Amino acid sequence: MAIENGLIPKELVKLLNYRINQEELSSRLYYAMHEWLDNKGYFGAAKLMSKWSEEEMEHAGWARSFLEAYGYLPEVGSIAEPKTEFQSLKDIMKMSLEHEIEITEQCNQLATKVADLGCYCAMPLALKYMEEQTDELEKTTNWLDRIELVKDDPRELMLIDREMGGSPYGDLIEG
């Protein structure tokens, strides 16, 4: 329950709690992708999705910390169940891009509402989300472009998988 101090409009408190929920959902989606990829032998991509999952929880923490700083108790609501079945690495990257586009639209709505409400103490947070979304869209688009470039060539996909795990040459050097 929020302390009614009037510093943060109720509409914005609601949007920030929604942001927390959606970031936690993103984390669960990327973790589900991690599990599927790991099961299919895409260990580098699985490692990347695990990292993305952790990053999304950090993003949820931004809104949580903001609300707490202003005396509001963030809501701990239920989270929708993410998809857990996928067709391919390409399918996962396409879905990731679609998801990040949706999240970008949500963050843009948050920034618009902050400006409309004149709640400038929340503007740095809204801009932080927007900046993060630029990065999220760029990295997801880049990986999808690379995957589409090699089509379904298993050897090329495995090289990209190794790169996704953090090494441009993967097992070629380490093994």
Per-residue pLDDT 10s for the chain (175 aa) are 445 677 899 999 999 999 999 999 999 999 999 999 999 999 999 999 999 999 999 999 999 999 999 999 999 889 999 999 999 999 999 999 999 999 999 999 999 999 999 999 999 999 999 999 999 999 999 999 999 999 989 999 999 999 999 865 444 434 3
| Of 81, 71, 73, 70, nearest in space to 20 by CA | 73
| Domain locations along the chain | 10-168
| Of 91, 85, 84, nearest in space to 147 by CA | 91
Domain 10-168, classified CATH 3.40.50.150, yes or no? no
| Of 164, 143, 61, nearest in space to 94 by CA | 143
Cα separation, 4 vs 124, in Å, equals 22
Angle between helices 89-117 and 154-164 (to 10 degrees): 40
pTM: 0.90
Residue 6: CA count within 13 A, CB half-sphere: 0
3-state helix, strand, coil in the chain (%, to 5): 75, 0, 25
